[in-house]
Structure formats: C-alpha cells, structure tokens
Amino acid sequence: MELNVKQIMEILPHRYPMLLVDRILDLAPMKSAVGIKCVTYNEPFFQGHFPGKPVMPGVLICEAMA
C-alpha cells in the first residue's frame, strides 16, 4: 500500500516541521513501513547545524525512522 503526504497526515498527528515523512512506498499495518523524506537545504534545522556545513541532527534521523 502506498500513501501520499495528504494520506499520511490523516494517520499521523505530526505537522511541519516534525512531519518527517513525505511518502510511504510500502505499508503493512502494525508490521512495517517503508517511507521517503526528501531532505533539502532549506530545512529549518540546517540554519544552525552547522552553518556552511549542514548536517541533519542525529536525533531527527532517529525520529524519522521511528
């Protein structure tokens, strides 16, 4: 089962900037999911982490996988 961001928002309570999934490619309810987050240079966390050398904070990587 595939889901777009509109369908994802019907399921998850998270909203920008903490909605860390843009699309679900495969969903097995109560078992597993495979999703995509399109990370761009314009993400708000890149402004200070780290200026000139942007790195996605590890805690957000973990949150995106949760």
Q: What is the pLDDT along the chain (66 residues), one digit of tens a residue?
A: 999 999 999 999 999 989 999 999 999 999 999 999 999 999 999 989 998 999 999 999 999 988
Report residue 33 CA to chain centroid gap.
Answer: 13
Q: What is the model's pLDDT at position 50?
A: 92
Report residue 56 CA to chain centroid gap.
Answer: 11
Instruction: Tell me how far apart the 2 most distant CA atoms of the chain are, in Å.
Output: 41
Catalytic residue among 19, 23, 46, 49: 49
Domain ranges of the chain: 5-65
Active site residue 14: no
**Fold classification of 5-65 (topology level):** Thiol Ester Dehydrase; Chain A (3.10.129)
Closest residue by Cα to residue 66 from 10, 12, 3: 12
Q: What pTM did the predictor assign?
A: 0.80
